[in-house]
Amino acid sequence: MGKFVEVSKIGELKEGAIKAVNPAGREILLARVEDKYYAADNRCPHMGGKLAQGKLEGTVVTCPLHRSQFDLSNGQVVRWLKGAGLTSKLGGVLKRPKPLTTYNVKVKEDKILIEI
């Protein structure tokens, strides 16, 4: 069991927003959806795209590089690579879908804490 560390204040993250935070030198994505907070690795397991620069729809984040999608509520792959062309086909063959690591989040007073 890890230690909970503060990564943000409640007022710093608007509804439907995502941002990158760096507790203990780790790149973690923090999201707020329907007043619930989610945390996961900020790097896409495909090619390391920064997910905080992607698009958030509900709890699903889309990687800005190859449009892979992940559910932040459990880290599961929703869609692995999207697009046409050789890069997409090779990426799907050479690198199998891998879920995101997610982190426990809790709110204490006005602080958002992540367990690392």
Q: Tens digits of per-residue pLDDT, 71-95?
A: 999 999 999 986 545 454 554 456 7
Whole-number pLDDT of residue 83: 54
Q: How far apart are CA 93 and CA 98, in angstroms?
A: 13
pLDDT over 80 (residue 105):
yes
Q: At which residue do the structure tokens 């907070």 appear?
A: 37
Structural domains in the chain, CATH included, are 4-101 (2.102.10.10)
Is the pLDDT assigned to residue 60 strictly greater than 70?
A: yes
Average pLDDT score, the chain: 91
Q: Sign of the CA dihedral 4, 10, 15, 20?
A: negative
**How confident is the model over 32-53, as pLDDT tens digits?**
999 999 999 999 998 899 999 9
Q: What pTM was computed for the model?
A: 0.87
Mean per-residue pLDDT, 20-42? 97
Length of the chain: 116
The per-residue pLDDT for 90 is 53
